[in-house]
Structure 1
Amino acid sequence: MNYSFDFASVTNNLGPLLKGLVVTLQLTAAANLMGLTLGFILALLIMSRWSVIRLPAMLFVEFFRCTPAIVQIVWFFYCVPMLFNVFLGSMTMGILALGFNLTAFNAEAYRAAIQNVPREQLDAGIALGLNPLQRILYIILPTAFRASIPVLLTNGIVIFQQSALVAIVAVQDLMYQGKTLATETYRPIETFTIIALIYFAVSFPVTQIVGYLERRRQLLTS
């Protein structure tokens, strides 16, 4: 192998990569906000006793869980404007695609946690005179959220990694900026190695937090 590595050509042009990282983090934050909020609402709809509410919610979850994220992103960017005559910015489309994907996965995490909420807590809420909405806000939501934190964090970091897919529709995230820099410097190995390290540097601490929370929960329940 006669290839001569030159990481300086990349490290001397970190500005675009850092700008791309900011866009990636913005996408991730917005998608997680959607996923955390809508995921809980969707979980409640899935557990509804009325099939007219439950079935569409289940169909939404299964669609986003059983189709590739890249297909969902392309569909939002190209099909939504054509079918519904709705034209939004590329950043907004990226947030919607990633946010709905995360919503589906978070809904399953919330649903499992809601099913494990102790019946005694719900009975206590009824005894205190709380209406259904108050029981959801003050009993079910806090309990389910705490139990779901490890899974929610894992799903969030997965979306951070999957956000690289929006580069194919010209959102100027970290991957898009990396592809541009690799083309300009003719250094794809060095460029994508640096990009991989950036993704790792952000993801690894979160995975360690998830592991810590899992171990702590096991200790508390043992």
Structure 2
Amino acid sequence: MDYSFDFASVFRNFDPLWQGLWVTVQLTLAANIVGLTLGFGLALLVMSRWAVIRIPVMLFIEFFRCTPAIIQIVWFFYCVPMLFDVFLGSMTMGIMALGLNLAAFNAEAYRASIQAVPREQLDAGVALGLNPLQRIAYIVLPTAVRNSIPVLLTNGIGTFQQSALVAIVAVQDLMYQGKTLATLTYRPIETFTIIALIYFAVSFPVSQIVGYLERRREVLAS
């Protein structure tokens, strides 16, 4: 292969990548806030005894879990303004699309953790005179969050990686800035290699934390 690598040309123009990374981090954090809070609510609703509540929520979750994230992002950016006459900023649309997608996956993680809450704890809450909302706040929520932390972290870092998809709708995230820089410098190999390493540098420590938490939980369970 007759190709001369020149990573210096990318490092000389690194500022746009830092700006793009900051946008990616903002997208990821905001989407995770939506996914963590809304996901728990969806988990409670999908476990409702009333089918009129349970079935629509179940369909919502399955839609976001069973369709590609890229389709969801494109739909939000192009279809929502046309159908509902709602025009929001590109960042807001990106957060909505990624946040709802994450909420659907987190809902399943929460649901499994909620079902694993020992019945004795709920009975103890009833014996103490706690109403249903208090039992959710003081018994179900802490236990469900604690048990599902590894899955929630895995889903969160997955959202960080999926955020690269918003580049197709001109959100100036890390991937978008990388594409622009690769075009300007004519160094796509070097540029996208560095971008991949940036994603890896952020994702790998979190994956190690997830592994540690899972091993710790197994030790405590045994």
Q: TM-score range by the shorter chain?
A: over 0.9
Please state how far the C-alpha of 1:34 moved relative to its aligned partner: 0.3
Partner of 1:221: 221
Partner of 1:156: 156
Please state how far the C-alpha of 1:174 moved relative to its aligned partner: 0.1
Partner of 1:64: 64
Amino acid aligned to 1:66: C
Cα distance in 1, alignment partners of residues 119 and 66 from structure 2: 32
- Asked if 1:107 corresponds to 2:84, the answer is no
Amino acid aligned to 1:151: V
Partner of 1:37: 37
Please state how far the C-alpha of 1:66 moved relative to its aligned partner: 0.2
Partner of 2:168: 168
- Asked if 1:15 corresponds to 2:12, the answer is no
Partner of 1:186: 186
Partner of 1:200: 200
Please state how far the C-alpha of 1:164 moved relative to its aligned partner: 0.0
Please state how far the C-alpha of 1:54 moved relative to its aligned partner: 0.3
1:148-190 alpha-carbon deviations (Å, 9 max, x no partner):
0000000000000000000000000000000000000000000
Question: What SS does structure 1 have at the residue aligned with 2:76?
Answer: helix
Amino acid aligned to 2:120: E
TM-score, length-normalised on structure 1?
A: 1.00
Please state how far the C-alpha of 1:57 moved relative to its aligned partner: 0.5
- Cα root mean square deviation, aligned: 0.3
Cα distance in 1, alignment partners of residues 6 and 122 from structure 2: 62
Please state how far the C-alpha of 1:81 moved relative to its aligned partner: 0.2
In structure 2, runs of 5+ residues without a counterpart are none
Cα distance in 2, alignment partners of residues 145 and 172 from structure 1: 33
Partner of 1:50: 50
Please state how far the C-alpha of 1:12 moved relative to its aligned partner: 0.9
Amino acid aligned to 2:4: S
Cα distance in 2, alignment partners of residues 87 and 65 from structure 1: 25
Amino acid aligned to 1:122: L
In structure 1, runs of 5+ residues without a counterpart are none
Cα distance in 1, alignment partners of residues 142 and 53 from structure 2: 24
Please state how far the C-alpha of 1:115 moved relative to its aligned partner: 0.2
Partner of 1:124: 124
Listed as ranges, the matches of 1:128-143 within 5 Å are 128-143=128-143
Cα distance in 1, alignment partners of residues 14 and 48 from structure 2: 50
1:80-121 alpha-carbon deviations (Å, 9 max, x no partner):
000000000000000000000000000000000000000000
Question: What SS does structure 2 have at the residue aligned with 1:87?
Answer: coil
Of all paired residues, the percent bearing the same amino acid is 83
Structure 1 stretches (4+) deviating beyond 4 angstroms?
none
Please state how far the C-alpha of 1:47 moved relative to its aligned partner: 0.2
Amino acid aligned to 1:41: G
TM-score, length-normalised on structure 2?
A: 1.00
Please state how far the C-alpha of 1:35 moved relative to its aligned partner: 0.4
Cα distance in 2, alignment partners of residues 146 and 65 from structure 1: 23
Amino acid aligned to 1:194: I
